[in-house]
Amino acid sequence: MLGKNIRSGIYARSAGVSSILEYTNFGVNGEIPLEKMNASLVAVQAGLGKDTVAIAIQRIVKHLSERIYAKNECALEIPNVGRLFIRKGIAAVRFNSELNETAKRVQSARSRSSK
């Protein structure tokens, strides 16, 4: 889909220096899973036409593909989620702090309820 094979990774920041480290979770083949998109549903949520949404997404994917192919890296803000980084064929997401805190609370609640 994008210009190069992309592997999964973790975005890490330490002492003001950021890096992306390759990461493979056990039970995962190392490829980023693809999901089918329903352009009609996105169009309704965005208040736009289905064709407008489909063309916009095609342009975004094409732009990302060209950027990765040309520079071997890319960064993209994902609203309400975080930032996608792709460097040297490894993709990682730095999640917003609010999303991280919510995930920690959910995990903690699950741990307490399973005991």
pTM of the model: 0.55
* Residue 42 resides in a domain: no
User: Could you read off the pLDDT of 31-52 as tens digits, one per residue?
Assistant: 666 667 778 888 888 889 989 9
Dump pLDDT digits (tens) for 54-70: 899 889 888 888 888 88
**Contacts (Cβ under 8 Å, ≥6 apart) of 5:** 89
Q: Is residue 103 part of a domain?
A: yes
Judge whether 40 lies within some domain: no
Task: Say how many domains are in the chain.
Answer: 1
String of DSSP letters for the chain: --SS--EEEEEEEETTEEEEEE---TTS-SBPP-----HHHHHHHHTS-HHHHHHHHHHHHHHHHHHHHHHSEEEEEETTTEEEEEETTEEEEEE-HHHHHHHHHHHHHHHHHT-
Tell me, yes or no, whether 58 lies in a domain: no
In a domain, 48, yes or no: no
Give the residues across from 17 on adjacent strands.
14
Answer yes or no: are the C-beta atoms of 72 and 3 closer than 8 Å: no
Q: Which domain does 106 fall in, by range?
A: 7-33+68-113
Does residue 98 form part of some domain? yes
Instruction: Let me know how long the chain is.
Output: 115
Q: Is residue 87 part of a domain?
A: yes
pLDDT band at 3 (very low <50, low <70, confident <90, very high): low
